[in-house]
Amino acid sequence: MKMTNQLRKTVAGLICITAASMPQLFAQAVKQEKPNFKIQHKVDVTGIKNQARTGTCWSFATSSFLESEAIRMGKGQHDISEMYFVRHNYPRKADHYVRMQGKANFGQGSLSHDVITAAALHGIVPEEIYNGLNYGKDFHDHGQLFSLLKGMLDGVLESKGKALDPKWKEAYEAVLDTYLGKIPESFEYQGKTYSPQSYAKEVIGFDAGNYIELTSFANYPLYQPCVLEVPDNWANGIFYNVTVDELEEVMDNALKNGFSIAWDGDVSEKAFSHGKGMAIVPEKEVKGEDGKIDLVASIPEKVIDQEMRQETFDNFTTTDDHLMHVVGSMVDDNGVKFYLTKNSWGDSNELGGYLYMSKSYVRLKTVGILVHKDAIPKRIKDKLNIK
């Protein structure tokens, strides 16, 4: 059966939700011995969180990234509210959807730049001030909230040929306030009073101008800014296009110099296992006794070049499924490079919520990354004309 474009978007958006809410599906019963890993570089991080039954991996990954940024800048360890960014994202997304008369993507997903934009416009607040759990549960669950929001917008758009009643925005905001909570104008934190803007600047050290998104696809001009054509880029965020070798170089340079990476990519491969904490691109799949891929036995991996990467992007076997936080690099017994990656599906897997993505997996399945501009090597910054 041929999959429609809309169905593709729905499936891609649901991967983030379904996998997060049902981590047991990724667990494998058969224990296997992992290689020994030697850590090369690792940044300071905050604790593992769980996005639970939501499609908000973009906010969890980028909030974790900003938390590590605060530590790197000597600002200390702080727990940032992911739902604060979600709360501010929904009105922007709704306005876009209505202005496009429903001919735009409206889902739970977004990308890292949507967190940066929200923080630039509205500041940042701590988790203890705004946890977004205003609906009687102790875990995040946006199924009903999203259905209400989407239904409301589609109802507004049914009045074609008539002037839109601007009251829809008030009703929409009221639903968000009911489920996520009202946005604080000021709050007490560690004995001081802050606004979201002053907290972002003084406590977190946030500066939106420091962050750059990169991608690597042949259908865009090299070393030029481009609008990455993936469903969750509803805001038409700008990415700089580099070669896959340079994308890898940026990631390695970032980690070597104490910076981390907000990572967006595909997690739909059979050789991606959150339960086992590994993601590889096997040259030949070796099945275990349980009939599933034995990740360790399936190494060695394919060597990934630009052409292979482009092919999977063009045929939709690489899509923007999920965002995570890359916080370190390591090598196994055979010198194969892996990236230590912090997920947002809780701490129930074999690595306490982390996973190892191989070099080949990252080269093939990365859709885009967000980094501090100082993490980019000078020769690449010069090509991109980034100061």
Catalytic residue numbers, as ranges:
57, 322, 343
Using CA atoms, how far apart are residues 106 and 231, in angstroms rounded to an integer? 9
Yes or no: say if 199 and 123 are a contact pair by the CB < 8 Å rule. yes
C-alpha dihedral sign at 301, 302, 306, 310: negative
Which among 239, 238, 236 has a CA at the least distance from the CA of 96?
Answer: 236
Which among 209, 208, 197 has a CA at the least distance from the CA of 124?
Answer: 197
Burial tier of 66 (Cβ tally within 10 Å: 0-12, 13-18, 19+): buried
Name the DSSP letter for residue 23: G
Name the DSSP letter for residue 39: E
User: In Å, what is the CA distance from 186 to each residue of 65, 189, 198, 204?
Assistant: 24, 10, 9, 16
Yes or no: say if 51 and 57 are a contact pair by the CB < 8 Å rule. yes
Amino acid found at 378: K
Token pair belonging to 31: 């224990």
b/e burial code for range 360-381 (CB count within 10 A of at least 16 → b): bbbbbbbbbbbbbeebbeeebb
**Which residue's structure tokens are 């007490």?**
188
Yes or no: say if 276 and 28 are a contact pair by the CB < 8 Å rule. yes
Residues 6+ apart with CB under 8 A from 192: none
As a whole number of Å, the end-to-end CA separation of the chain is: 49
